[in-house]
Structures are given as structure tokens and as C-alpha cells.
């Protein structure tokens, strides 16, 4: 068993490392395939629509595929193997057909020190790093706490957690397909993101005030939260391309890879920290995972962890966005000036 555990831990760590090696340049492609803001939003939207479809397919198909085999170990190995081969093929196809159209200035010399100085000194990058860190702390916290909320606070005959998630995912999918391009074209990425995140914070806070026994209240609140948050999903990555443009516009250096790598780091750190924060909050309130029912203090901590606490963290993200200087007008100015420089 020790050998199996070591093998599982080692291969999982290797998988995550290789995934990061792949995901960072893959995410960065949105910043170098085009310099048009609308096209960047479109590229990011297509990416997350495909990711959502893949998530749904995996959630629906995995267990039936495993059950096709008498031995569950064989079923899991074959199923995951099929997913792995498919993923490898798609990644190779993406790498072969994607075309990088935006290159660093011809006079730019390779220098990790200068790239780091340029990125860390860029105000939009710092704003987006802070936003991403707190955003994914919040998402991980809410995702962890919501499972406890539906187990200990919401009666089973009121609302099933899978139904609540299914409604939210369906609304998110439709909203991601339709809203980001329309809203960002009309109001700009920053304004759209700020308003949508603020509304997400408001609807998240609403879970503290809506009774856990209100089936339709929870469904409506969850639907509104998903609808408000959905446009921000692709916009985050489209804005990263704008941040890379801003660095080149201000300093004359383009470090797209470093821009996206820092944000991916904030994302990973936020996800890890968010799960831990949930544990700290519940532990401090005396939560007992072995108990059939929880104390009043633990119940209150669970309610706060799906409502006011994540709402406050979403609000921190809104504050970070106030320091993000790339408005719709600034984006247009950057694009025109950078195009003029590249044409020389």
C-alpha cells in the first residue's frame, strides 16, 4: 500500500507539473494570436465553451464507461486512458494549428530580469494578479462550503445539490456563449467585469438572508449568481492579453508568457488557499465531520462561508479592478499605437 500511495502521489504531482508547463503557454496564446480586443474575447469565450462541454461530457460519461467493465480497476484505467489519448491529440492539434501573430519588438533582447521587472512594475498586471488570487480563493471557498451547506443546512426534501449545480452550470454555459462579447463591445472589458463581479458579490451575500428551506429562493439566487459571474470567466483571460499589450505600450518590452504565468500562479495559489480557508473557518467554529448534526456555531460558520465571507472576498476583487487602468478607450489607443510601431 505504501508503494501504491507513493506511485499515486508521484504520478499526480508529475501530471500537475506537466499540465502547468502546458497550460501556461496555452493560456498565453490568447494574447499573441490577435491584437484585436473583440477577437481576444471571442477566443477566450470559445475556449471556455469547449471546456464546459468537456466537463459535462466527463461528468456524464465517466461512471457508465467504468461500469462497462467487470473489474472497476480496469474500467477506470481504460476510461482515463481514453481521456488521456484524446487530450494529447487535441493538445498537439492546438499546438500545430495555432498561429502567433504578435511578436516582441524586433529590438527586444531576451532577459528574464528585464521581463520580470517589466511585469512586476506594471500596474494592470498587479491589479489582475490581486483580482485572480482573491477570485479563486473565493471560488474554492464557496465550492467547498456549499457541499457542507447542502448537507447540513438545506433539508434533503427541499433541494438536491446536484439539481442546484445543474441549473447553475446550464445558465453559466448559455451566458458564457452569449454575453461576454455583447457586453464588452458595448461597455468595455473592465466595466463589464466590475459590474458583473459586484453583482456576483451581492447575489452571493443573499445566501445569508434567504432561508435554507426556500427551494425556489435558493434556485433563483443560484441562477442569478451564475448569470452574473458567467461573463467574467472568458474576460479574465482576454484582459490578460490587454495587460501584455500595456506592458509593451509603456516599457517597450513584451513578456506575454510572464504575464500569463503570474496569473496562473495566482489562480493555483488561490484554489489551494481557498480550500484551506474553508477548513480553518469551520474548524474554528467547532465543526465535527463525524457528527450527524452540527452545533449552532458550526451551522453559522457554514452559512457565512457560502454568503457574507465570499461576498466580501469578491468585493476585494472589485477594489482591485478599480486600480486596473485599461478602459475601453485606453485599449483602443494602445492597439492603434502598437500597430503603428509594428508597421515600421
Mean pLDDT on 115-144:
93
d(CA 240, CA 193): 13
Is the Cβ–Cβ distance between 315 and 201 less than 8 Å? yes
Q: What is the per-residue pLDDT across 274-287, written as a single tens digit (0 to 9) for each?
A: 989 999 999 999 99
Give the number of C-alpha atoms closer than 13 A to the C-alpha of residue 60, restricted to the C-beta side: 7
Query: Does residue 16 have a pLDDT over 80?
Result: yes
**CATH number reported for the structural domain that contains residue 147 in this entry:** 1.20.1250.20
Query: Does residue 325 have a pLDDT over 90?
Result: yes
Q: How many domains does the chain have?
A: 1
pTM recorded for the entire structure? 0.87
What range defines the domain where residue 285 resides?
A: 2-342
The closest alpha carbon to 238, from 27, 76, 91, 59, belongs to 27
- Mean pLDDT, the chain, as a whole number? 91
Query: Does residue 190 have a pLDDT over 90?
Result: yes
Residue 291: CB atoms within 10 A of its CB come to 11
Is the Cβ–Cβ distance between 167 and 304 less than 8 Å? no
Phi-psi region of 98 (alpha: psi -120 to 50; beta: other; left: phi over 0): beta
Query: Does residue 93 have a pLDDT over 90?
Result: yes
Amino acid at each position: 500500500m505504501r508503494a501504491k500511495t507513493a506511485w499515486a502521489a508521484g504520478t499526480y504531482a508529475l501530471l500537475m507539473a506537466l499540465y502547468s508547463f502546458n497550460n501556461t503557454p496555452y493560456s498565453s496564446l490568447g494574447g499573441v494570436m490577435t491584437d484585436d480586443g473583440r477577437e481576444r474575447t471571442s477566443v477566450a469565450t470559445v475556449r471556455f465553451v469547449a471546456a464546459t462541454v468537456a466537463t459535462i461530457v466527463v461528468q456524464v460519461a465517466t461512471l457508465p464507461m467504468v461500469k462497462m467493465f467487470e473489474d472497476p480497476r480496469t474500467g477506470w484505467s481504460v476510461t482515463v486512458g481514453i481521456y488521456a489519448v484524446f487530450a494529447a491529440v487535441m493538445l498537439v492539434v492546438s499546438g500545430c494549428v495555432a498561429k502567433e501573430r504578435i511578436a516582441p519588438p524586433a529590438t527586444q533582447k531576451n532577459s528574464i530580469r528585464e521581463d520580470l521587472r517589466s511585469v512586476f512594475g506594471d500596474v494592470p498586471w498587479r491589479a489582475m494578479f490581486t483580482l485572480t488570487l482573491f477570485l479563486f480563493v473565493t471560488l474554492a471557498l464557496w465550492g467547498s462550503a456549499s457541499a457542507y451547506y447542502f448537507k447540513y443546512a438545506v433539508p434533503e426534501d427541499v433541494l438536491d445539490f446536484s439539481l442546484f449545480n445543474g441549473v447553475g452550470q446550464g445558465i453559466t454555459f448559455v451566458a458564457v456563449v452569449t454575453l461576454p462579447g455583447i457586453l464588452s463591445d458595448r461597455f468595455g472589458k473592465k466595466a463589464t467585469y466590475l459590474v458583473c463581479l459586484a453583482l456576483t458579490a451581492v447575489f452571493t451575500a443573499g445566501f445569508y438572508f434567504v432561508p435554507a428551506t426556500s427551494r425556489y429562493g435558493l434556485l433563483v439566487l443560484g441562477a442569478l449568481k451564475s448569470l452574473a459571474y458567467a461573463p467574467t470567466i472568458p474576460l479574465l483571460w482576454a484582459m490578460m492579453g490587454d495587460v501584455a499589450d500595456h506592458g509593451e505600450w509603456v516599457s517597450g518590452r513584451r513578456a506575454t508568457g510572464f504575464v500569463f504565468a503570474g496569473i496562473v500562479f495566482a489562480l493555483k495559489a488561490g484554489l489551494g488557499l481557498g480550500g484551506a480557508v474553508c477548513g480553518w473557518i469551520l474548524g474554528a467554529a467547532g465543526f465535527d465531520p463525524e457528527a450527524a448534526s452540527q452545533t449552532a456555531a458550526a451551522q453559522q460558520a457554514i452559512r457565512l462561508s457560502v454568503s457574507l465571507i465570499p461576498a466580501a472576498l469578491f468585493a476585494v476583487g472589485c477594489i482591485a479592478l478599480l486600480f486596473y487602468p485599461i478602459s475601453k478607450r485606453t485599449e483602443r489607443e494602445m492597439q492603434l499605437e502598437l500597430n503603428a510601431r509594428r508597421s515600421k
